[in-house]
Structure 1
Amino acid sequence: MEYQLIDGKATASAIKQSIAEEVKTIVAAGGRQPHLAAILVGHDGGSETYVKNKVIACEQCGFKSTLMRYEADVTEEELLACVDKLNKDEDVDGFIVQLPLPKHIDEQKIIMAIDYRKDVDGFHPINVGRMSIGLPCFISATPLGILTLLQHYHIETSGKKCVILGRSNIVGKPMAQLMMQKQYGDATVTVCHSHSKDLKKECQEADIIIAAIGRPDFVTADMVKKGAVVIDVGTTRVPDPTRKSGFRLNGDVKFDEVAPLCSYITPVPGGVGPMTICSLMKNTLAAGKKEYYK
């Protein structure tokens, strides 16, 4: 069976281009550039890369961007003071705190301190709650990116059986909510996780599998039915001596053996990843336009 590769890189690039056009129009009409700020704590390799890519994406979209860096030993008070400052800064439309944070800092406390009207990551309980009942809000970037890809490739989701592997607050849970909702996925949703019985059987019956379990090569050919759509959210750094960096990014899906069974599949890298950053740009534009919250 000939599968179609879902190209997240090309899709994200086209969306960023249309955002840039819109920003030009806004600025030409006397409006202001959307402004995204990011708080980065410590020197985690993955986080450094993500934040760098977010800054580049801001340039491509014609946004203003500000990066605030702290060492790993920053106190919770200092971080909360920084969040408070960004909440009050009228020039900043939206901001993110790059996760994970060091162990001595309570992540949930930091997220709760962010003004939900500037929470372009969509992690604040107000945005999560609004999303779950279908009200306008900032939707968490990775699930929004996946929805955008499904729409972009005109993949039928209504009434389909969708299995989500993983139940994290960042991907699994919001993804399940969105795929279930009438205005988005309109699908029949099953969420599986490390303690699910018959996980393989659930996957075998799925029309759409969204793998966000964080275990390299977890989804194998014997778990996927012919013609399924497979979305791979996994990005685990796996040692690879042939690479200059010494590692490669590996997805949750054993691509080479699963792909021939699929109608559509996302690669890693170049699938969901670029769409996550692109969704953050979409949320920042909406924040700049005060689209959801006046």
Structure 2
Amino acid sequence: MNLSSLQTVLAVERMGTIVGAADMMNMDASNVSRIVAAVEHEIGLRLFDRTTRRLRITEAGERYLTRIGPLLDELEAAREEAHQTAVEPQGHLRLTSSVAFAIEKIVPLLPAFQDAYPQITVELLPSDANLSLLDQGLDLAVRLAAAPKGDLISTRVLSTRYRVVASPAYVERTGTLRTPEDLSDRNCLRFALPDFRSRWLFRVGADEPVREVEVGGSILISNALALRDAARKGMGAALLADWLIDRDLEDGKLVDLLPTWDCTATEFDTGAFILYPSRTYLPQKNRVMIDFLKDRLK
């Protein structure tokens, strides 16, 4: 029995399906199925109960793979460490983020990354849905939120701050805001997410009470770039992240309506986090991308 076969079996257990493991390892599902059957025959254990619709690990399989999983990870870590000292970073890296963050922050950095690491091919998957790293066979994901919780490892690459902004034409037409509560009487442009669409949060400082303000309006938009464009066109006030609007504020295309207030729709401490599966090693291609984004986005 070779290590490749054991790694294939472990991939099936981690992905939960033959097809998922095949996609992750760039193999045919039929080959993965044959490898699993061969390993089961050699060790004399049935690792998975398989039907036409689903796959479930057996009790014996769970015990076996729980023991060999860390050993295989350590072997791969040793191989990767030795490989890193001898070879330039290389491989195919699959990265996802929101559409807006991909366009505004990641795509502009790709030429420099390509120059620095010509042996790495980057597949960027912009999506406003939170794609599953394991199900989609992704190496890294950038999430915009408070500190993520769960089984994935996360590294902050950017801290964010939200602002309530509008176009100069909108301000001239409707007047300035004296307090956050004035927004309740305005036609607000709202992000079509549960936490953003009905109320926004405000505070003067970290030690001050949080004020919750109900917001409403005739426009709901599910994409941050489109929401920013609507604000630029004077359609209303919008709550947007600083990395998306800093240039517009500098150029005068947008105006900060509440410059002395902290604003958010969820939590005040938010950021952009790179997520990757919990493993005992990190491939070199992943590590250099994480370090590159941390350095360029900080």
TM-score, normalisation: structure 1:
0.27
Max Rg structure: 2
